[in-house]
Structure 1
């Protein structure tokens, strides 16, 4: 896959250098020259973002001489806001935000692509299972998403449009993930919704819902979205990347090392490395959630072929901001750093 270099955004870099903690909500220049790097994760306990905490638990950040603080925000859209405001230097979240941000005048790029599928699952409550048998039946329904403007919101709208349902005929409801999502299903606050593991596995174990669309595997992504859908990634402001290449290379080294480790270990071995409180449904159920989601991850951090094009097609199907916009996909990701990992 191609790599590409970008000219430093001098004005943006100068602004970041001058920006004070009080003025910008955070010090965007921290992380350079050995300082602490803050990475916001769109839900640290979600299996789709597992490489973030796993990299820390395996000691790979430390091995690279990095001081990384992992923060959590249940919806990726809030994590992106933290990045743009300068509160954090990186986000582990969905790649599709880089396209959405570009048309809004923000230059953000994926520097490590952790996955080649979305890892998302559309589930339907048992109570609504007879009336919602596919996304064609979404009209008039309340559909759960992690947050409005999040990637689950994006993908829910795409599934609706692809199946002939206008976006104004569905009602997205922000219900987060985990127990809040499960409770919303049980209380009929939503009839269906999009979530990830371990929530999916817990829903099936509690028998409160059923799988409607499964996008945890390349095959499921191809069927639902028409191609690979690169999702979980480490993305950062392009200006920060260009000004801190040595640090970004160390981050890429750590994350790719983790992806390789995951590829060579069992779900049970991976689960044993994670914080105990992530396995709220028990160790066996948590390992099963990891097993179901493992197919989504890359082993090298490289953007999958045709992945950005699939994401662009999906977003343009329903997002008025992108529909007629020119998106330069080459500016939404780089393979410069992962290709240099030894």
Structure 2
């Protein structure tokens, strides 16, 4: 994809007026960085794992240390607290932080759709048919405040319910989330593959809401919904443009590889424990989610606006926030530059 094609696809046009960073092959201001992520084994963060495992960060001169937290909200806390330099996390966190006066910006989109699935324990599926029936139930999410939590609350809000109408339990990612449902500790789960794929295959749950596809995403949100991204503090971006570019380059190269790879190749590229004991199941989960991975690394404007509208509807603190925070939340120039560097 050439530069003109990327420009035509960019939804955050205002960011293009900013100067491009220095040539990425130049010296990195901070060659060793620490990245936070909440649930690295999830397919939500597959581009991060691929970039790490295939040496894409190192290829661009970056020594990336990855700290895996219990959920996205904790990764954000680590960034604000200064214990990590950047985060692979949900786009909506950038909007929330912009609204609070903290200049945190996404630099590349990894997922166009959230790929979050809300499913009910099979034993109670006969009386829980939609989000209208969630009142009084125990809901497992990766962590309270994370994107899995926000998705459930948004679904409930469409039926006049609020977060206070259910009990939310952090179940983390991977095997711990599967175990929580199998032990009956939760009634509902809002989670991602391969956790959902495992529970579906074992017959433990019935899926109610599925944002792994464009149709399912638009049914819930009304538009695409930028999800996993790389976000950083703006002061870090300004001081370390080459370092920021190197991180984006690595993720962009991973996205291009994922787009061309087969589910089998992807399954072989990740650690075996990511398969949750069933490689074939993992491959089916990959196939179900492939549509969601970004083709350009650039967020669509209508999708960004849809996330902002969702947050305004859910959070009273967001209701008076001006729409210009959307333009500040994504620095599209780095993904554009990565397309010219990586090809």
Structure 1 length as normaliser, TM-score? 0.89
Q: How many residues align?
A: 320
1:313 corresponds, among 309, 314, 320, to 309
Ranked by relative contact order (alpha carbons within 8 Å, sequence separation 6 or more), the top structure is 2
* Residue aligned with 2:29, SS: helix
- In 2, Cα distance between equivalents of 1:68 and 1:52: 11
Contact 1:118/1:221, CA 8 A, preserved across alignment: yes
* Residue aligned with 2:209, SS: strand
- In 2, Cα distance between equivalents of 1:180 and 1:276: 16
Check if 1:303 corresponds to 2:299.
Answer: yes
Shift of 1:164: 2.5
2:93 corresponds, among 92, 97, 106, to 97
Q: Structure 1 residues 168 and 280, CA, compared in 2 at 3 Å: closer, same or farther?
A: closer
Shift of 1:185: 2.2
Structure 1, residues 256-296: CA drift from partner, whole Å, max 9, x if none? 11111111111111111111221123211111111111111
Contact 1:3/1:336, CA 8 A, preserved across alignment: no
Mark the runs of 5 or more structure 1 residues left unpaired by the alignment: 9-30
Shift of 1:237: 0.5
1:334 corresponds, among 322, 331, 334, to 331
Structure 2 length as normaliser, TM-score? 0.89
2:7 matched to which residue of 1?
none
Mark the runs of 5 or more structure 2 residues left unpaired by the alignment: 1-9, 20-26
Q: CA RMSD in A?
A: 1.8
Check if 1:287 corresponds to 2:262.
Answer: no
Shift of 1:7: 8.7
- In 1, Cα distance between equivalents of 2:132 and 2:194: 26
2:5 matched to which residue of 1?
none
Q: Give the 4+ runs in structure 1 shifted more than 6 A.
A: 5-8
- In 1, Cα distance between equivalents of 2:337 and 2:131: 42
* Residue aligned with 1:210, SS: strand
Q: Structure 1 residues 183 and 56, CA, compared in 2 at 3 Å: closer, same or farther?
A: closer
1:4 matched to which residue of 2?
15
Shift of 1:339: 0.8
2:253 matched to which residue of 1?
257
